[in-house]
Amino acid sequence: MPEPVPTVLFVCVHNAGRSQMAAGFLRAIGGERIEVRSAGSLPAEQINPVAVAAMAERDIDIAGEQPKVLTVDAVRESDVVITMGCGDACPIFPGKRYEDWALEDPAGQGIEAVRPIRDDIEARIRALVAELLPA
């Protein structure tokens, strides 16, 4: 019987920067072994172009992603819910693993300011993958 695939949901306010970078890293590092979702409590019109550029420096393309609205179903159907500055907008369900990652918002920042945020996200994603997919 195949191993169950854990589902991770990343939530930030606009679903345009932090959560999209996290989802991009998790897709790249976890591959098909982890299902990845992202959403925002107040989604933006488009992905932050500086976040797209910062991820491109790591050979990860998030340019085709679109901000999505956070739904109760997305939370209900996820095993791990990681919030990034969206406060109490995320519904709580028993039995889920919740983490809040205190990360600076890349909105309105230049590439020099976004790179350290991206690198922090990448380190957190690598640690998460090691927890979810033990060798």
Query: Does domain 7-132 bear CATH number 3.40.570.10?
Result: no
Give the DSSP H or E segment for 123. Answer: helix 111-132
One of 12, 75, 103, 125 is an active-site residue; which one? 12
pTM assigned to the model: 0.93
One of 21, 54, 75, 86 is an active-site residue; which one? 86
Is 15 noted as a catalytic residue in this protein? no
Is 95 noted as a catalytic residue in this protein? no
- Structure confidence by residue, pLDDT tens digits, 88-108: 666 677 788 999 999 999 999
SS3 readout for the chain = CCCCCCEEEEEECCCCCHHHHHHHHHHHHHHHHCEEEEEECCCCCCCCHHHHHHHHCCCCCCCCCCCCECCHHHHHCCCEEEEECCHHHCCCCCCCEEEECCCCCCCCCCHHHHHHHHHHHHHHHHHHHHHHCCC
Q: Given this model, what pLDDT does residue 30 score?
A: 94
One of 90, 103, 128, 129 is an active-site residue; which one? 90
Is 109 noted as a catalytic residue in this protein? no
Q: Given this model, what pLDDT does residue 4 score?
A: 80
